[in-house]
Structure 1
C-alpha cells in the first residue's frame, strides 16, 4: 500500500522513510504487514539470515537481492522469528508485485508489529540505503529539502485562494510534520511553535506545530510556518481589498438612498440594483451613532480607518444571520440595511433584527473597548421609499436613545412612543410644507441662529410657558431668556397666545428636534 504521512509523524519513522521512497512511484516501496510507525535507529544490509543476530533493536534490515528469494519459504519464517527476537523495527525485501511471501511470516509480522516492506525489483538498493541513512542521520539536510518542497508547492498555489487549512494540509504532507490551524494562540510554556495565520492579526487563527529536538530544524520549521502565514495574509489582503472596493461603492449609493428625494431615489435605483441592493424588497434599517474613545485615534486618517473597520465588523456579524445586508458610514455613525425578499415580511422580522443588533453591538465593543453607541432600529417597510422611511425611524430611535442616555442598548422605533406620532405627522407632505412656511423667516439667518431660535421656542413650550424652567434648562439668566424668546417670536411672526398657533409651533419644534430640517 502507498503511505501517507498523518498528523504528528516523526521524520525517523518507517512511515516517513516509505513516504520518501514513494515520492516518484508509490509502487517502489509497499508496506505489506506490521507497524510502520516505529522509529528507525539504524539501517543494515544483510546477505544471510545469520547476520540478523548482529543487528540492534530498532534496526531496519534490508535483505539483498539474492537473500530476498527466501520470501516464500521456510527460511523467511526463520528470518522473521530472529528479527522479532532482536526487536528489529522492519524487514525490507526485493520482490516483484506478484511474488508470494510466506503466510506464516506475514502472520508473525502482524502479531508482533514487525514491519514487512516489499521493494520494487528495479529499485537500486544503494539509493534505498542512502535515503534511509540520510533520513535517520542527517535530519537538518532532509528538513531543508522538504522546506523547499513546501515553498515550491505554496508558490504554485499562489492566487488560488487556498484557505489556511488547505495550506496546513499541504505543508504537513510535504514536510512530514503535523501543522494545525487553531483559532487562538497556544498557551505560553507549551512545546509548540505558533505563527499567526494573518500576520497583522496576532490574536486570530494560528499555524501551530510541535517543536523539534534539533534547534536548526526548529528554525526551518518556523520558517515554513511564516511562509504559510505570508500566503494566507496575501490572499486575505487581496480578498479584503476587493470587498472594501465593493463596500465603498455600496456605501456611497446607500448613503444617497437613505436621504434622497423621490426623484433622486429613482435615478439611483439602477445603480443600487447593480451593486446588489434589492430596492424592491422589504427593508429594515439600523443606525449606530458612535462615540469612539479618542485614545489611539488622534489623527483623522486613523479615525477613518477605525470607522471603516467597524463597518466591516458590523456587516460581517450581521451577515452571519443570513439574508441580505449592506452598510453605509457617516463621520460618527454606521447604517445597516437588511433586505428581505418575499411578498410579505415575517412577523417577527423586527424582533429578530433587534436581537441581532445586540450581537453586532457586542462585536463592535469587542473591537473597540469602551465604545459607546446609541442604536436605533427602524420599522419594516417596502421598496425604495421604505429604505428612506426605515432610516428616518432608525435615526429617530437613535436620537431618542441618546436623549435618554441609553448607550449600548438598541431601541426600536416602535418603542419610542409620542415621538413616533410626531414623525408620522411630520411625514405628511402637507405638514412639511406648513412647517417650512412657519420657519421660512429663519432662512435669512445663519444655521446656528436658526437652530438656536427653534431650540429656545421648543424648550419654552416644553416647559409649559415657564421662563424660569426654560432658563434652567438652557443655562441662561431669565432676562436673557425673555429677550431671546421675544426676538424669536418677532422673527417668526407667530401669535404664541393663540392655542392653535401655539400647538402647531410646539409640534413643529418637536419635529425639528427629532427629525431635523435643513436650512434652505
Structure 2
C-alpha cells in the first residue's frame, strides 16, 4: 500500500471511510411482521454489524457487534437455565443483541444479567433462518437492504388495509411512511397521467401523485406499489360511498331520454329506487369544448374526472344531488323541497367549481360551458329543467361564448326550442330540412350544421361567422356555398333562413 507524506516526510494518515451501519431499533421496526419484540434492553442506536444463527452450545463463536439468533437445535424454546447461559455467553462475546425465538419472558436472573451488561434481548415468532435473511439484507444496506425495507412497507400497508380502516388515505400514508422512515403525502396536482408510476387514481381518474419528503432506493421501490394499493383502496371507498347515487343517476338519464308518455312510469320506478322525484329539481348541464377546435372530442377520462369531482363536491351538502354523464357532457341535479330559497344559486356554485376543476385537468384551450335550468317539480319538472339547462349551454356554445355560465331564459326562442324539443313530430319536420347534410356522414353533417348556424345567426355575415368559428372568411364562404348547393335552398330567403336556423339550433339541442 502506498502512503502519502508531506514535504518534511511526515506520514499522512489515510482518509477515514465512514461506514453506516443499521441500528438495532430499525431492525426491530422492519422485522415486526416476524413477531420481533424487545424482552429487555434499549435497542435505539445500537449498531448491528451482521447476523449469525447459532445453537445455544455454539454461542462462544459469536462475533462482536453481531445480532445472534440462538436456537436449541430442536425447535423448542430455550429453558430458563439455557437462557441464563446464553445471556452470559452473549455478554462475553460483546454481541449487539441476542434473539431467543419462542421465548415469551426472561427469567429474572437472565434479565438482571442482560440489564447489567446493557445487552438487548429480543424474541421472535418466525423461523430463525427467515429472520436471519431479513437482518442480513438490512445490514447489507445495498440492494438487498432496500428491497427488504420496501417489502416491509408493502406488507405493513396490506395489513393496515386488511383491517378495513375508515380513512384509507390516512392509514396508507401513515403506515407506509412509518415503515420507510419518510413522510408520504398525496399531491393533488393537475396533469398527472394514470399511467405514471406514482399516480394515485380511482379507475382512470388521476387524483394526484404520491410523494415522499426524502428519497432513497427503498422509497423508490415501494412508492409505485403503495400508490397502486392506495388507488385500489380509494376506489373501494368511492364505490361504497357513491355507488347508490351512481345507480340512481342511470334513472336520471333514462328520464331525460324517454318519450313523454313514459315519464310517469319511469318516475314511479325512480321513486322506488330512492330518487326523490317529488321534490323540486334544478339541473346544470356542463359542455366541454376545445376552443381552437370545437369538434375535437374531450380527453377520454375527462367525463369520469368531472363525475368524481362533482360527487366529492356535493358529498357533505344538505341538498340531494345526482350526477350523470351524457355523451361527453355532465348533468348535475340538485333536489330540494319546493320553494327552497336560492336553489339555483347553490347549484351554480357547485357547477362553477366543477367547471374550473375540469379546465385545470383538461389543459390549455379547453373550456366548460354551463347551462342552468330553473327549479321544477316532479319527474316532468326534472326533465324540463334539464332541457332548459341544455338549451342554455348549447346556445352559448353555438354563439361562441365558450366557458360562460348561462341561466335559462324560458321566454322567446329558447321557449320555442324547448317546445319543439318535446315534440317528436316537430323534430321530425325540422330534421327533414337537414337530411341532405346527414347523408354526408355524421362528422361532416355536424360541421355543416355548426357552420350554417354561425352564418345564419350572424345575419349571413361571413366575417362574424368566421370569428365565431375561428376560420378565415374565405373558408366560411366555401363551406356555406357548398352547404347551399347540398340543401338546394336559397339562404337569402327570410323564411328559409328562419326555418334552417331553428332546425340547426334544435339539432344541437338533440345532440346532433
Fold shared by both chains (TM-score > 0.5): yes
Partner of 1:205: 209
2:284 partner SS: strand
Structure 2 residue 249 is matched with structure 1 residue 255: no
Structure 2 residue 337 is matched with structure 1 residue 333: no
Q: Structure 1 residues 288 and 15 mapped into 2: Cα distance closer, same or farther (>3 Å)?
A: same
1:16 pairs with one of 21, 26, 32: 26
1:178 pairs with one of 161, 176, 181: 181
Does the Cα contact within 8 Å between 1:195 and 1:206 map onto a contact in 2? yes
- Rg larger in structure: 1
Count of matched residue positions in the alignment of Structure 1 and Structure 2: 416
Shift of 1:278: 2.3
1:362 pairs with one of 328, 338, 356: 356
Q: Deviations over 1:130-169 (max 9, x none)?
A: 9877754576556556666666677789999784654455
Q: Deviations over 1:75-125 (max 9, x none)?
A: x9xx9xxxxxxxx9978799964627999x97xx9xxxx966345799999
1:286 partner SS: strand
Does the Cα contact within 8 Å between 1:377 and 1:412 map onto a contact in 2? yes
Does the Cα contact within 8 Å between 2:138 and 2:146 map onto a contact in 1? no
1:351 pairs with one of 335, 345, 352: 345
Shift of 1:308: 3.3
2:388 pairs with one of 393, 399, 420: 393
Does the Cα contact within 8 Å between 1:39 and 1:89 map onto a contact in 2? no
Q: Structure 1 residues 124 and 100 mapped into 2: Cα distance closer, same or farther (>3 Å)?
A: farther
Does the Cα contact within 8 Å between 1:42 and 1:59 map onto a contact in 2? yes
Does the Cα contact within 8 Å between 1:195 and 1:207 map onto a contact in 2? yes
Does the Cα contact within 8 Å between 1:327 and 1:336 map onto a contact in 2? yes
2:290 pairs with one of 292, 302, 306: 292
Does the Cα contact within 8 Å between 2:391 and 2:418 map onto a contact in 1? no
Partner of 1:278: 276
Shift of 1:365: 0.5
**Residues 100-499 of structure 1 mapped to structure 2, 5 A cutoff:** 117-118=120-121, 136=139, 163=168, 165-167=170-172, 176-178=179-181, 180-184=183-187, 195-198=198-201, 204-206=208-210, 208=212, 210-212=214-216, 218=217, 222-233=220-231, 253-258=251-256, 260-273=258-271, 276-292=274-290, 305-306=300-301, 308-309=303-304, 311-313=306-308, 315-316=310-311, 318-320=313-315, 322=317, 323-331=319-327, 333-340=329-336, 343-344=337-338, 346-369=340-363, 370-399=365-394, 401-402=396-397, 405-413=400-408, 416=409, 420=411, 443=429, 446-448=432-434, 484-485=493-494
2:84 partner SS: coil
Shift of 1:285: 0.3
RMSD of aligned Cα (Å): 6.4
Shift of 1:410: 1.3
**Aligned counterparts of 1:243 and 1:272: Cα–Cα separation in 2:** 20
Query: Once structures 1 and 2 are overlaid, which stretch shifts more, 246-255 or 124-133?
Result: 124-133
Partner of 1:84: none
Gap runs ≥5 in structure 2: 1-19, 55-62, 71-82, 190-196, 438-447, 466-476, 482-488
Does the Cα contact within 8 Å between 2:278 and 2:377 map onto a contact in 1? yes
Structure 2 residue 55 is matched with structure 1 residue 36: no
**Aligned counterparts of 1:123 and 1:443: Cα–Cα separation in 2:** 80
Shift of 1:327: 3.2
Q: Structure 1 residues 279 and 37 mapped into 2: Cα distance closer, same or farther (>3 Å)?
A: farther
Q: Structure 1 residues 400 and 130 mapped into 2: Cα distance closer, same or farther (>3 Å)?
A: closer
Partner of 1:51: none
Shift of 1:376: 1.3
Shift of 1:277: 3.0
Shift of 1:348: 2.4
Give me the TM-score of the superposition, normalised by structure 2. 0.56
Does the Cα contact within 8 Å between 1:354 and 1:412 map onto a contact in 2? no
Does the Cα contact within 8 Å between 1:183 and 1:204 map onto a contact in 2? yes
Does the Cα contact within 8 Å between 1:179 and 1:207 map onto a contact in 2? no
**Aligned counterparts of 1:346 and 1:275: Cα–Cα separation in 2:** 24
Q: Deviations over 1:12-69 (max 9, x none)?
A: 2121334577765566x3244x571444457999xxxxxxxxx99x888999935958
Does the Cα contact within 8 Å between 2:39 and 2:106 map onto a contact in 1? no
Q: Structure 1 residues 179 and 254 mapped into 2: Cα distance closer, same or farther (>3 Å)?
A: same
**Aligned counterparts of 1:222 and 1:161: Cα–Cα separation in 2:** 26
**Aligned counterparts of 1:37 and 1:290: Cα–Cα separation in 2:** 58
Partner of 1:65: 84
**Aligned counterparts of 2:24 and 2:491: Cα–Cα separation in 1:** 97
**Aligned counterparts of 2:298 and 2:35: Cα–Cα separation in 1:** 58
Shift of 1:378: 1.3
